[in-house]
Structure 1
Amino acid sequence: MIDPETVVPTAPLGAFLNKHLGGSTRPLAVEKVGQGRSNLTFRVTRGAQSWILRRPPMGELPETAHDMLREYRVLSGLAGTTVRAPRPVLACSNPNVIGVPFYLMEVVEGVVIREQVPGQFGVVERGVIGEQMVDALAELHTVEPSSVGLGDLGRPEGYTARQVARWSKQWGVMATRALPDIEVVREWLAANVPQISPAAIVHGDYKLDNVVFGAETPPRLLAILDWEMATLGDPLADLGYLLMFWPEAGEPNIGGLPQPTRMEGFPPRSALIERYEHRTGFAMTDLNFYRTLALWKLAILTEGLYKRYLAGKADGDWFAILETAVPQMAAVAREWSGA
């Protein structure tokens, strides 16, 4: 188990907050929140004040990954738009405060839907949840990056090809065993990269349990979380990622990662695609490529989590299922590709 005081020491953090957000004699309380298995998220409370703190995970980190200041910059750029993102509060680049760079953002109260759907969200509400997921993603993808100071966040040209190359390199860092399906899918992806694609701010990890919904009905998506992988690139990669995490009735869940979208009321993937196309005007092409790319990347990412678990640097027994879940993901990605 992660000891919050070890990874977010309250004494230096309190001094930092007193300097930048006003002094207070009230003690800090730090509590780990969420089930995020990459960057770590904590709720920091001081009297009636409360913030969310984000910091990198413990253990070995891939090059350029877990850049807290970049994530803070993305939230700052989106703060003046209709994009549903938490409001950033304060960033710290000095690793001497808590040991790593970190930032604070506002607390967004609500519910995060994981394996179970809250009881107040019945069949009709589940349909609205699907619509809200698409609408919030379309709002992000139709923001002009340069208008919010994010025109240099990444290079959209060649984004998808670089994703294949980058995650191939990540596999070399993260792999704990040989998985031939990873290599077969890599070769298929490299040979089938779409030649023409739109460009937008992409989230990189857009799925049902990375957003906050209000607890009341009808459901309203309040905030998109976990912006660590945001960049400029192909928005259909985000859509493919969402579709990958959207199994329909009668379909299996992706190994070890149950999703509730098989329940009655959740719209089929075809309805999500149609609504997204209407909201953005983007042509819906090569979606099987993007869905396969998403699952292949997820297999590599979760292999990295499994590596940290084996090294004793990950919190929770959940990670043990990745011994079999990662090979299952790789096998399904190969099946989807037809390679």
Structure 2
Amino acid sequence: MHKDVSSSPEGPAGDATPDADAIPAGLLDYLNRELGDEVGVRRLSAGHSNLTYVVTGSSGAQWIMRRPPFGRLQAGAHDVMREYRVLDALSAAQVRVPRVTLASTDAEIFGAPFYLMERQEGEVIRDVSPEWFVGPARRELVLDLAVALAEIHNADPTRLVEAKLGRESGYLARQLKTWGAQWESIKELPTGRDLEDHTAITGWLTQNYPGDRPAAVVHGDYKLDNVLVDAETARITAVLDWEMATVGDPLADLGYLLYMTPEPGGEVAMAELTGAVTAQEGCPSHVEIAEAYREARTGDQSYWTPEDLIYYQVLGGWKLATLLEVSYQRHLAGTTDDPFFAELDEGVPRLLSVARSLMPTTG
């Protein structure tokens, strides 16, 4: 099974209309010329964000192609060229990323910018455990999630800063401002919701703002179903879905990973999103995940404790709920027919409830 790298919940997704399956002759001509092969293209069907296609050459070589969804999009969302630039900037780092092959901003070719990357072998685990995910494999894979994240944070962020893909300070403050404003905007829609948990979390995050930590490359949506896994070794072969990557506080990634990775016996907010398979017996605890991450980190780090990570877990759930509320409002407006978004009627409040439950009762 290969990863449909459009599975990130980042922002409101466009519709997978019949046009998304149509492959223009001009695109085939362009790919044949640039790749030096006779190729076929088909769309992968899963996912709620950017559209993803598999490109297969007559030689047997395969690539993954990414482009924005069709239809009207939120400003700044679905920037596949940003994702391409991040992957290109990380190509020389010791990070498990696919190698990008080519990119084009010429909308005459495929109606929007797009890029190609090598197709990696591996499978995705989301809400159903594969047969091999038993015994030691459970622990090994989840701990490797922590190690692969540390490898990302060990990479020098300078190239991303120089490419204007992130700034070395102010990340958390911008997150609070951006997503807080996003929520206020959608709350004012005719179908908008004023959810008390969101208000409470926003206040707590603002009051307990921890300040800046040494900056690192931040993935922005790092979780189990955004990696490819080798079933034979239970190791991660590639980290995908880089459209939200930037430079910022690395603990934001770690906290989000913990929020999206329930502990054995822990609470699962939405099984499709929050890695219900990791709540099974034999998977490591949050403390063990955090320690595996710490041991794999190198370079400049500020001291932190497991208790410090609570802030970042709450932040991750709050941000995800905000992103998905945008998609839910698009569902109510009839501008998307993705059935997953209908589930957000109860899903968004559930995500917020779990995030709020992590907050200390005082402070």
- TM-score norm. by structure 2 comes to 0.85
Q: Which segment drifts farther, 120-129 or 50-59?
A: 50-59
Match of 2:10 in 1: none
Q: What is the Cα deviation at residue 177 of structure 1?
A: 2.3
2:248 equivalent among 233, 236, 241: 233
Determine helix, strand or coil for the equivalent of 1:337.
Answer: coil
Match of 2:359 in 1: 337
Match of 1:275 in 2: 292
Give the AA of the match of 1:166. Answer: T
Match of 2:140 in 1: 128
Match of 1:159 in 2: 171
Is 1:111 aligned to residue 123 of structure 2?
yes
Cα distance in structure 1, aligned partners of 2:66 and 2:76: 16
Cα distance in structure 1, aligned partners of 2:22 and 2:61: 17
Q: Deviations over 1:231-283 (max 9, x none)?
A: 00000000000000111222220135352001122100000111111222532
Q: Which segment drifts farther, 237-246 or 181-190?
A: 181-190
Cα distance in structure 2, aligned partners of 1:122 and 1:91: 40
Match of 1:99 in 2: 111
Kept in 2: contact 1:58–1:314 (CA 8 A): no
Match of 2:316 in 1: 294
Match of 2:348 in 1: 326
Determine helix, strand or coil for the equivalent of 1:61.
Answer: coil
Aligned residues: 335
- Cα–Cα, structure 1 residues 211 and 250, in superposed 2: closer, same or farther, change >3 Å? same
Cα distance in structure 1, aligned partners of 2:69 and 2:183: 18
Give the AA of the match of 1:118. Answer: P
Is 1:19 aligned to residue 33 of structure 2?
yes
| Residues 75-94 of structure 1 mapped to structure 2, 5 A cutoff | 75-94=87-106
Give the AA of the match of 1:41. Answer: T
Task: Give RMSD over aligned pairs.
Answer: 2.2
Cα distance in structure 1, aligned partners of 2:162 and 2:152: 12
Cα distance in structure 2, aligned partners of 1:265 and 1:18: 48
- Cα–Cα, structure 1 residues 121 and 23, in superposed 2: closer, same or farther, change >3 Å? closer
Q: Deviations over 1:123-172 (max 9, x none)?
A: 10111101210111111101112267756421131111110101112224
Cα distance in structure 2, aligned partners of 1:314 and 1:301: 15
Q: What is the Cα deviation at residue 307 of structure 1?
A: 2.6
Match of 2:153 in 1: 141
| Residues 188-203 of structure 1 mapped to structure 2, 5 A cutoff | 188-203=204-219
Match of 2:227 in 1: 211
Kept in 2: contact 1:200–1:232 (CA 8 A): yes
Give the AA of the match of 1:10. Answer: P
Match of 2:236 in 1: 221
Determine helix, strand or coil for the equivalent of 1:45.
Answer: strand
Kept in 1: contact 2:37–2:57 (CA 8 A): no
1:41 equivalent among 52, 62, 65: 52
Q: Which segment drifts farther, 307-316 or 73-82?
A: 307-316
Determine helix, strand or coil for the equivalent of 1:154.
Answer: coil
Q: What is the Cα deviation at residue 58 of structure 1?
A: 3.8
Match of 2:260 in 1: 245
- Cα–Cα, structure 1 residues 336 and 149, in superposed 2: closer, same or farther, change >3 Å? closer
- Cα–Cα, structure 1 residues 337 and 102, in superposed 2: closer, same or farther, change >3 Å? same
Cα distance in structure 2, aligned partners of 1:11 and 1:309: 33
Give the AA of the match of 2:27. Answer: L
Q: Which segment drifts farther, 172-181 or 85-94?
A: 172-181
Cα distance in structure 2, aligned partners of 1:150 and 1:311: 40
Determine helix, strand or coil for the equivalent of 1:41.
Answer: strand
Q: What is the Cα deviation at residue 23 of structure 1?
A: 5.6
Kept in 1: contact 2:172–2:212 (CA 8 A): no
Give the AA of the match of 2:126. Answer: R
Q: Deviations over 1:77-98 (max 9, x none)?
A: 1112220011111111122222
Match of 1:308 in 2: 330
Cα distance in structure 2, aligned partners of 1:92 and 1:307: 32
Give the AA of the match of 1:262. Answer: A
Cα distance in structure 2, aligned partners of 1:98 and 1:23: 18
Q: What is the Cα deviation at residue 102 of structure 1?
A: 1.3
Q: What is the Cα deviation at residue 328 of structure 1?
A: 1.7
Q: Which segment drifts farther, 207-216 or 284-293?
A: 284-293
- Cα–Cα, structure 1 residues 56 and 151, in superposed 2: closer, same or farther, change >3 Å? closer
- Cα–Cα, structure 1 residues 2 and 196, in superposed 2: closer, same or farther, change >3 Å? closer
Match of 2:269 in 1: 254
Q: Which segment drifts farther, 72-81 or 11-20?
A: 11-20
Q: Which runs of 5+ in 1 are unaligned?
A: none
Kept in 1: contact 2:17–2:70 (CA 8 A): no
